[in-house]
Structure 1
Amino acid sequence: MLWDKTQDILKDTLSSSVYNLWIEPLKCLEVRDDSIYLLSPDRYFSAYVAQKFLSVIEATVKESGSVQRRVVLCEDDRAAKSESAAPKAQLRLPTVPQNNSSIRALHPRYTFNEFMVGESNILAESACKAISMHDDSFGSCLYINSTTGLGKSHLTHAIAHRVFKESPMTRLHYVTAQQFAAEMVRNIQTKTMDSFKQKYHDQCDMLLVEDVHSLTGKKKTQEELNEVLDCLIKSGKRVVMTSNQTPRELVGIDNDFRSRMSSGLVTSIKEPDAATRFRIVEKKATLHQLGIDEDGVDYLAQHIRGDVRKVESAIVAIRAKSRLMGGQVDMDMIRQVVAEVVGGDKVLTIAMISDLIASQFKVSLGDMKSKSRKKSLTFPRQVAMFLCRKYTDDSLAEIGRAFNRDHSTVLHSIKKVTTMTARDASVNAQLELLNGKVKNL
């Protein structure tokens, strides 16, 4: 079958992650002399595929069938049968405003159900759920900031999915700050700013703006967006913004605009903790139908931090390698993938830091973990606990167990070293030297 051959070629041409996300879900409805009709999950999925992959798909279809065919993406299996018929517009009551929503292509998997909640993001997730349901528990204006890959776009996509499912007549505009700026410039050039203002001031129930940090130094765009925010917020409309920094950290931003962005809830998404990373790895492995034992999941969770997209990349690579090995996944394969795909970022552990401190102070690990209270052992032990707390995600209790102590002893050691560092220049210099060596492990 033509589409089967096309898929086989695309599977070898595209990366496995791209193929699995954007090509595999497409189903062939009908093949005609001049066209091939593909069924996609929804119109947002179609829009993204059309923008990113349509030319590649059409070229591959020709390669598979030796005839140039137009690729038509459909969200309804009746579309292929009635393409030539003019679509009937949905009837609208005179009192209902026309829905002129404008959005980015939504990722079908970026929903609230697929979002992994932990301590690092629970406030942002709760606020997004509330605002998507017109619940004013967190207010009507929300600002989310985080570094890349921690879930800002996932949450904004989830809001749009929820809004279109629960309140399809909502006039929602979802843009990046760059898209907003480009649209404004086009309207200035064509002298149609009245329609631009009408769209965002009068024909908008909800506004999602991503990456507002990209407006740094763009004074005119800041003024225009600030005016839009002022109008919407005063009208009780919903606004969600995302950025890589908090409003007060942004440079090159007008103070009035900064104040407007801060008028509602400002929340940050932090890096997920170890437990959340573990659940993320488990979830991604399940989605990709990949069997990884608990030790493997734990290794990935410990060694892949920050950008959650790295987890997806690692899982895809492990699945590809496991297929070549007959479906088997072992720790050597996982370690290799972490080193090759993720970059091999070394995660500091209590054992690594303990070994370093023991060698630097010329004491044995056994003595350092013993019950001895000799000063020659007490100080290295306290320094090791201090550095373990600083450079690992392990809890006070976990650090205490590693040194045969309880969490209160670890807390005392941290306070002791902190005080000594502040009062004694030689201890401070010693700690600076040890900090450098730990970072180079």
Structure 2
Amino acid sequence: MLWEKTQEVLKDTLSGSVYQLWIEPLRCLEVRDDSIYLLSPDRYFSAYVAQKFLSIIEATVKEAGSVQRRVVICEDERVHTPKPVMQPKGQLRLPTVPENNSSVRALHPRYTFDQYMVGDCNILAESACKAISADDDSYGPCIYINSETGLGKSHLTHAIAHKVFAESPMTRLHYVTAQQFAAEMVRNIQSKTMDTFKQKYHDHCDMLLVEDIHSLTGKKKTQEELNEVLDSLIKSGKRVVLTANQAPRELVGIDSEFRSRMSSGLVTMIKAPDINTRLRIVERKAGTHQLGLAEEGVNYLAQHIRGDIRQVESAIVAIRAKSRLMGGHVDMDMIREAVTSVVGVGQQLTIQMISDLIAKQFKVSVDDMKSRSRKRQLTFPRQVAMYLCRKYTDDSLAEIGRAFNRDHSTVMHSIKKVTNLSVRDTSVAAQMELLTGKVKSL
């Protein structure tokens, strides 16, 4: 089939991640003498593919079929006309309502609320974003989200845009990075068209999404302009979502009035996901990439990749690519190699790594340490493992407790017990010194 041949060529031409993200989701609807119709997930996906890959797709179609055909990317399986016409869903524009003038970054097709993995680390941010996208003012008209890189800020802002355009397509939504806002302002100053710029953001905007506010550090004029925009929109009952890598009070080089304005609504932080959330993220990402992982592999990825969620996807893409070369087989060596390539050899210590070491040193199994047994030969290794996990990992008492089928109070008791024994008993102190050295060398 023509499209299947085209895909094979594109798979060799494009990088693996680009092919999986932007070509693999396309499905051939119909092939005509002069055209080939491809179905995409949504109109934003269509727009991005048309902008970035249409020329190479058309050239490859010709190469695969020996005939020049126009490639038409559409979102409706019913192909009646040579040029698909998109009908608005939901709202219709009244004659007195100005035409939509939204300006939106290219939206990732998978960055939707359905695909967002919710845990204790991000539930408030996710709930607030869902509410504001539905024009629910439960959390106020302004939301400020901060987190480290790769924890889901962009996923949430993309999800808001997807939901707004799906349910209220006439919403005048502007979605930019702070750098883009600054560059647009400079262009309008240079061309003496600041009136147009102000009208766009003050008068023709129902919802504003601005990412990476921290990049405005030291840019006083841009801060003043954006502060005016925020003031105008919030007072008019419009919706605003801002993201940054720090809370407003922690930003350096930010005007106090602008800082105050950003803090006028909900300020929430997305924290690094806990082990349970990481396990679900790994399972979801593996499923998305059609990669079968055993429980051991899922646990290893979740234990060793602790922060940036993009690193999880990168590791899974690497595992999938290598498994294809091995006939679909996935083993732990392959997973360890992928983790090392993503995280590096100096990865953080994990509960699993420390548990394995202690079990080996005391000649017991990890499962025995996790059992309910209170035998001395198991109790002491378990307490030592908990003590070292608390000392050398970032996991909470609750997370360590769950790893050993205990609660956080048991972990606290174990830490106190080992600490006291190390002070009173020189043999225990010597043991702990030896084990500490082995943990540091992992």
TM-score band by shorter chain is: 0.7 to 0.9
Contact 1:353 1:438 in 2 (8 A): yes
Check whether the contact 1:383–1:417 (CA below 8 A) recurs between aligned residues: yes
Return closer, same or farther for 1:407/1:258 CA change in 2, 3 Å cut-off: closer
**Alpha-carbon spacing, 1:97–1:57, altered in 2? closer, same or farther (3 Å):** same
Q: Given the two structures, how large is their TM-score scaled by the length of structure 1?
A: 0.81
The residue type paired with residue 144 of structure 1 is I
Match of residue 292 from structure 1: 293
1:12 corresponding residue in structure 2: 12
Match of 1:422 in 2: none
Quick check: 408-417 or 13-22, which moved more?
408-417
Range with bigger deviation, 18-27 or 346-355: 346-355
Q: What is the Cα deviation at residue 276 of structure 1? A: 0.7
TM-score by length of 2: 0.80
- How far off is 1:381 after superposition? 9.7
Which structure 2 segments of 5+ residues have no match? 365-373, 421-431
Give the aligned partner of residue 338 of structure 1: 339
DSSP-derived class of the 1:242 partner: strand
- How far 1:384 sits from its partner (Å)? 6.5
Whether the 8 Å contact between 2:132 and 2:141 is mirrored in structure 1 is: yes
- Partner residue of 2:43? 43
* Inter-partner Cα distance in structure 1 for 2:151 and 2:157: 12
Post-superposition offset of 1:222: 1.0
How much has 1:318 moved relative to structure 2? 2.3
1:19-40, Cα deviation, whole Å (9 max, x unpaired): 121012234445666x655443
Cross-structure match for 1:191: 192
User: Are the equivalent residues in 2 in contact too, given 1:131–1:238 (CA < 8 A)?
Assistant: yes
Change (3 A) 1:263 1:322: same
Partner amino acid for 1:42? D
Gaps of 5+ in 1: 373-377, 420-430
**Count of residues in Structure 1 that have an aligned counterpart in Structure 2:** 420
Report the CA distance between 1:338 and its aligned residue.
2.2
Displacement of 1:45 after TM fit? 1.0
Give the conservation status (yes or no) of the 8 Å contact 1:273–1:393.
no
**Contact preservation (8 Å) 1:6, 1:61:** yes
**C-alpha distance after superposition, 1:191-210 (max 9, x if no partner):** 11111111111111111111
CA distance in 1, matches of 2:84, 2:383: 78
The question of whether the paired residues in 2 share the 8 Å contact of 1:101 and 1:173 is answered with yes
1:60 aligns with 2:72: no
RMSD: 4.1
Query: How much identity, in percent, do the aligned residues show?
Result: 79
Q: 1:147 to 1:433 in 2, by over 3 A?
A: farther
Output the CA distance in 1 between the equivalents of 2:238 and 2:303.
42
CA-CA distance at 1:325 after TM superposition:
2.8
Partner of 2:426: none
> Is the Cα–Cα contact under 8 Å of residues 92 and 170 in structure 2 kept in the other structure?
no
CA offset digits 1:50-69 (Å, max 9, x no partner)? 34333443453454456776
The answer (yes or no) to whether the contact 1:216–1:253 under 8 Å persists in 2 is yes
Describe the shift of the 1:409–1:74 C-alpha distance in structure 2 as closer, same or farther (beyond 3 A).
Answer: closer
Q: In 2, Cα distance between the equivalents of 1:181 and 1:320?
A: 40
Structure 1 residues 174 and 370 mapped into 2: Cα distance closer, same or farther (>3 Å)?
A: same
Distance 1:190 1:223 in 2: 19
Q: Equivalent residue for 1:26?
A: 26
The verdict on how the C-alpha distance between 1:68 and 1:212 changes in structure 2, with shifts beyond 3 A counting, is farther
1:173-212 aligned at under 5 Å gives the runs: 173-212=174-213
2:128 matches 1:124: no
Question: How far apart are the structure 2 equivalents of 1:2 and 1:198?
Answer: 49
Q: Which amino acid aligns with 1:254?
A: D
Find out whether 1:154 has 2:155 as its counterpart: yes
Letter aligned with residue 234 of structure 1 = K
The separation in 2 between residues aligned to 1:22 and 1:58, in whole angstroms, is 15
Q: How does 1:426-437 map to 2 (within 5 A)?
A: none
